[in-house]
């Protein structure tokens, strides 16, 4: 059985004190009532070390939102996969559309990041998804396939098993506009078929594919009920413990 996962992506929100307060609140809530899925919070780099010390990692996994495409050295301002891992974090988000768009991360750069993250034993939440124009031109399948081929299909099957895919249509991120559960299921099933073509059915069946883009407590149950949707990558609604818990409860 593949893993069900609800992962938060805090993006560039919360100062250190606010982030610690949110992590502590979530930790208390989830320790009191064990979730029916894996829960992960991905925080800004500066939160990782402190949050890692505060949370029970058997209840909440911790991840970064990015890491460098170089191993170490003279890259001012960058944070390496090894540094991320040394905080106690277990995950890293790579390929988020905001990184691709605003920071010009190419498929080649992302391929390097993925390799370095895996080398450190980090699990990668790899994001793919089409823009509104691509969806309107009915190119969504070609886009997600190319994104997989460009940055993760170079991996061995054993390494690919350490990847969680997050399908995030760009037009749904932070817009309040969610893909319908049928729209999401259709492309999730397609993504799984592309993985099956490349790595075989068994690997495809084991790969968790998360939906992201204006996912909230009100729409999560319908999305998560679909056979190929294995959870969510949550931006805005991960910034309040009660909202995030509402989404986690969709797996009840
Ligand atoms: P959102 O963001 O939930 O705020 O739409 C999702 C994401 O970008 O991961």
CB 248 within 8 A of CB 220: no
User: Residues 47, 96, 147, 188: which is the catalytic one?
Assistant: 96
DSSP code at position 170 = G
The rounded distance, in Å, linking the Cα atoms of 56 and 6 is 16
Distance 74 CA to ligand 1 centre (A): 32
> What digits encode the pLDDT tens for the residues 126-178?
999 999 999 999 999 999 999 999 999 999 999 999 999 999 999 999 888 88
Q: Read off the pLDDT of each residue in 54-78 and give the average, rounded to a whole number.
A: 98
Distance 234 CA to ligand 1 centre (A): 5
Helix (H) or strand (E) holding 234, with range, is strand 231-234
DSSP code at position 30 = H
The rounded distance, in Å, linking the Cα atoms of 226 and 180 is 11
Predicted pLDDT at 240: 98
CB 140 within 8 A of CB 179: no
Q: Tell me if residue 33 is catalytic.
A: no
Calculate the CA 113 to chain-centre distance. 15
Ligand 1 pocket test target in 40, 173, 223, 247 with most atoms within 8 Å of CB: 173
* Residue 123: closest CA among 154, 66, 163: 163
């Amino acid at each position: 059985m593949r893993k069900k996962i609800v992962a938060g992506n805090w993006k560039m929100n919360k100062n250190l004190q606010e982030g610690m307060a949110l992590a502590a609140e979530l930790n208390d809530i989830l320790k009191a009532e064990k979730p029916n899925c894996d829960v992960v919070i991905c925080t800004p780099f500066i939160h990782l070390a402190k949050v890692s010390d505060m949370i029970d990692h058997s209840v909440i996994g911790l991840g970064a939102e990015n890491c460098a495409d170089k191993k170490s050295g003279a890259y001012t301002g960058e944070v390496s996969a090894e540094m991320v891992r040394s905080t106690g974090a277990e995950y890293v988000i790579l390929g988020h559309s905001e990184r691709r768009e605003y920071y010009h991360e190419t498929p080649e750069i992302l391929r390097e990041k993925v390799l370095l993250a895996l080398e450190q034993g980090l699990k990668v939440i790899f994001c793919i998804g089409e823009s509104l124009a691509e969806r309107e031109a009915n190119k969504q399948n070609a886009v997600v396939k190319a994104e997989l081929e460009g940055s993760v299909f170079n991996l061995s099957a054993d390494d690919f098993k350490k990847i969680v895919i997050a399908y995030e249509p760009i037009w749904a991120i932070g817009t309040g506009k969610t893909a319908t559960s049928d729209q999401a299921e259709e492309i999730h099933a397609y993504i799984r078929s592309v993985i099956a073509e490349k790595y075989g059915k068994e690997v495809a069946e084991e790969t968790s594919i998360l939906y992201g883009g204006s996912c909230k407590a009100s729409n999560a149950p319908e999305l998560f009920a679909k056979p190929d949707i294995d959870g969510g990558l949550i931006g805005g609604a991960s910034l309040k413990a009660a909202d995030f818990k509402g989404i986690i409860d969709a797996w009840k």
